[in-house]
Amino acid sequence: MEDREDIRENFVHLARIALSDRAQDVQAFLTRVAKRSSDPSLSAELVELLRKRPTRSSPLRRTAEIPLPVDTDSRFHLLRVEERPELPHEPIYTTKVRETLTRLIEERRNVKALINAGLDPTKTILFTGPPGVGKTLAAKWLARELKRPLLILDLSAVMSSYLGRTGSNLRHVLDYAKSVDGVLLLDELDAVAKRRDDTGEIGELKRLVTVLLQQLDDWPSTGVLIAATNHAELLDPAVWRRFEELVEFELPEREAARAFIKAMLERTVTKAEEWSDVLSVALSKQSFSDIERILNSARRAAALNGNRLDEHLSPLLTVNGNTKQDRIELAVQLVQTGLVSARRAHELTGVARDTIRERLKGVAAGKSE
């Protein structure tokens, strides 16, 4: 009798949310039933239905008739949608970041195993790190690998000139994102999720944190929400706790910088391998976006002047901010690879030519042993 009453309540609840056209809520409800059911065959059938749900083939199709949310004052769209995200290049990350991103993909590709274990895939992810280290690129990569559209929140648009409407704008964006089988990126999260004890902020901005917390708590397991910030120290502590996964992006290590530089140069310059080795030293402590900007500037100059790109790469080899050991290593590599003469290596690095010759002799002696 009790089981029959439970079935009746569940059926009525399912009918209510289905008639309200809340597809994400229907999926979330069926996911809960699949996890809690004592009937293995029912659980298996529901899992299979969820895996093959129609929205997978065309995530935006069912919501195409629903207009993107707009700011009531400016009428600007609050979201930018990339239905098929395109990457300017493949991301290069540290082992730890790459493993985390790969696991997040595997969770979505093998939801059945998680449900059978009574688990949900990760639904809220926080990207932190300085500008230009690949946070937005990682969001694009995740969306592309999941074959889902990427929805990007334009925080400059959501911040209404009438602050009282900003909370409403944020709710509209997040409600819309819940209805789409996509990946939502909240960029520059610190703009709306600052610490509530920050005396420099007015009450309305503090209330935005509460709105965001409510939405994060209510985010469906079928969706993916990614937030990114360059200023993690500004975030309200309560916001940190709402994210299930934290991914910390750092300035690229030398090997990552070398691979990135080689990918940019291998079709435009001879000895791309050698240039990537030395430039990874000269451009250490730079972000991926800074490295890209610097190399593209050199490429433009070469194209305009009709010079070889090598001539515009040499001036980039100044390493005044690097350690003495880095400068010596760079000078030796420059001469050893034949990119420049010992005299030019001295001019670029400040390392004495005698030191360069001694190190070169040591390298040669090591190879002959």
**8 A C-beta contact, residue 200 and residue 46:** no
Q: Are residues 196 and 80 in the same domain?
A: yes
Mean pLDDT of 47-64: 53
Mean pLDDT of 44-64: 56
> What is the tens place of the pLDDT at every residue in 5-26?
666 666 766 666 665 555 666 7
Question: In which residue are the tokens 């930018």 written?
Answer: 80
The amino acid present at 35, given as its one-letter code, is: K
Count CB atoms within 10 A of the CB of residue 212: 23
Q: Are residues 209 and 65 in the same domain?
A: yes
Domain count of the fold of the chain: 3
Q: Are residues 118 and 14 in the same domain?
A: no
Per-residue confidence (pLDDT) for residue 281, from 0 to 100: 81
Q: Tokens in use for 293? A: 């900007």
Beta strands 79-82 and 150-153 are antiparallel
Q: Are residues 224 and 94 in the same domain?
A: yes
Q: Are residues 112 and 224 in the same domain?
A: yes
Listed residues 218, 248, 278: the one ending a domain:
248
Q: Are residues 244 and 259 in the same domain?
A: no
Q: Are residues 234 and 268 in the same domain?
A: no
**8 A C-beta contact, residue 243 and residue 125:** yes
Is the per-residue pLDDT at 296 higher than 90?
Answer: yes
The SS3 of residue 225 is: strand
> What is the tens place of the pLDDT at every residue in 329-362?
888 878 877 777 888 878 777 888 888 888 887 7
Q: Are residues 203 and 77 in the same domain?
A: yes
**8 A C-beta contact, residue 231 and residue 194:** no
Indicate which CATH number applies to the domain containing 79: 3.40.50.300
Dihedral angle sign, alpha carbons of residues 192, 196, 201, 204: positive
Measured CA to CA, the distance from residue 147 to residue 83 in angstroms comes to 9
Which residues pair with residue 235 across a beta bridge?
194
Q: 93 lies in which domain range?
A: 61-248
Is the per-residue pLDDT at 250 higher than 70?
Answer: yes
